[in-house]
A and B are shown apart, each in its own frame.
Chain A
Amino acid sequence: MHIVVLVKAVPIVGTERLGPDHRTQRNQLEANGNDEYTLEKALKLTEAHGGEVSLLSMGPASALDALRKALAMGATRAYQVQDDALAGSCIRGTVDVLVAALKKIEFDLLFVGADTSDGLGGVVAPAVAARLGMPYLSYASEIEPVDGGGVRVHRLSATGYDVLEAATPAVVMGTQVLGEPRYPSLRGIMQARSKETTTWSLADLDIDPASVGEAGATTRFLSSEAPPQRSGAQVVKGSADETATAIVDFLTARRLI
Chain B
Amino acid sequence: MAGILAVGELADGRPTRLTLELATLARQLAEAAGSTASVVLLGSGAGGAASEVAAHGPSVRAIESADDGAPVAMQVAPVVAALIAKDPPDLLLIGASPDGKDIAGLLVGLTDLPILVNGSGASWSDGKATVEMSTFGGRLVTQSQFTGDRGIVLV
Q: CA A225 – CA B141 in complex, angstroms?
A: 5
Q: Mark B43-72, 1 if CB is under 8 A from A, else 0.
A: 000000000000000000000000000010
**Once bound together, how far apart are the Cα atoms of A226 and B98, in whole Å?**
27
Chain A count of residues within 8 A CB distance of the other chain: 41
Q: Does B79 contact A (CB under 8 A)?
A: no
A137 to B102, CA, bound (A): 10
Q: Do A220 and B146 form a contact, CB below 8 Å, given A90-B114, A129-B106, A130-B110?
A: yes
Report the separation of the CA atoms of residues A78 and B13 in the bound assembly, to the nearest whole angstrom: 46
Tell me if A123 and B145 are in contact (CB < 8 A). Answer: no
A219 CA to B109 CA, complexed, in Å: 16
Q: Which of B98, B103, B117, B138 contacts A121 (CB 8 A)?
A: B117
Contacts of A129 in B (CB 8 A): 105-106, 109
Pair B108/A223 contact, Cβ less than 8 Å: no
Interface flag for B40 (CB, 8 Å): no
Cβ 8 A contact of B118, one of A90, A120, A125: A120
For the residues of B in contact with A, the DSSP-based class is mixed
Contact flag A164-B71 (CB < 8 Å), given A118-B136, A122-B101 = yes
In the bound complex, what is the Cα–Cα distance between A224 and B138 (angstroms)? 12
Interface assignment of A102: CB less than 8 Å from any CB of chain B = no
Tally B residues with Cβ within 8 Å of A: 41
Q: CB-CB < 8 A to A128: which residues of B?
A: 109
A218 interface residue per 8 A CB criterion:
yes
Q: Does B35 make an interface contact (CB < 8 A)?
A: no
B-facing residues in A196-254 (Cβ within 8 Å): 217-227
A220 to B116, CA, bound (A): 10
**Of B25-33, B83-91, B147-155, which stretch is located at the interface?**
B147-155
The minimal Cβ–Cβ distance linking A218 to chain B, given in whole angstroms, is 3
Which residues of A lie under 8 Å from residue B117 when comparing CB positions? 91, 119-123
Which residues of chain A in 121-145 are interfacial with respect to chain B, using CB atoms and an 8 Å cutoff?
121-131, 136-139
Please tell me if the beta carbons of B141 and A226 are within 8 angstroms of each other in the complex: yes
CB of B102 within 8 A of CB of A91, answer no
Q: A-B pairs with CB below 8 Å: how many?
A: 124
Q: How far is the CA of A164 from the CA of B102 in the complex (A)?
A: 15
Q: Given A123-B108, A131-B109, answer yes or no on A138-B73 (Cβ-Cβ < 8 Å).
A: yes
Bound-state CA distance A54–B101 (Å) is 26
Closest to B70 in A: A164
Distance between Cα atoms of A124 and B109 in the complex (Å): 9
Contacting B147 at CB < 8 Å: which of A127, A136, A138, A219? A219
By the criterion CB–CB under 8 Å, are A224 and B118 in contact?
no
Say whether A52 faces chain B, with CB atoms less than 8 Å apart. no
Known: A126-B102, A218-B114. A95 touches B141 (CB 8 A): no
**Contact (Cβ within 8 A) B148 A218:** yes
- Which residues of the partner chain A approach B148 to less than 8 Å between Cβ atoms? 218
Q: Which residues of A contact B151 (CB under 8 A)?
A: 218-219
B 127-155 binary contact with A (CB < 8 Å = 1; else 0): 00010001111111111111110010010
12 A-B pairs, CB-CB below 8 angstroms? Answer: A95-B109, A121-B101, A126-B73, A126-B101, A130-B77, A130-B108, A131-B109, A138-B98, A155-B71, A218-B146, A218-B151, A221-B144
Residue positions of A touching B, CB distance < 8 A: 16, 18, 90-92, 95, 117-131, 136-139, 155-156, 162, 164, 217-227, 255
Closest 4 CB pairs of A and B: A130-B109, A126-B105, A218-B114, A123-B105
Interface residues of chain B, those whose CB is within 8 Å of chain A, are 17, 71, 73-74, 77, 98, 101-110, 112-118, 130, 134-148, 151, 154
Query: A130-B110, A164-B71, A218-B114 known; 12 other A-B pairs, CB under 8 Å?
Result: A91-B108, A91-B117, A121-B115, A122-B101, A126-B105, A131-B109, A139-B98, A162-B71, A219-B146, A223-B142, A224-B143, A227-B138
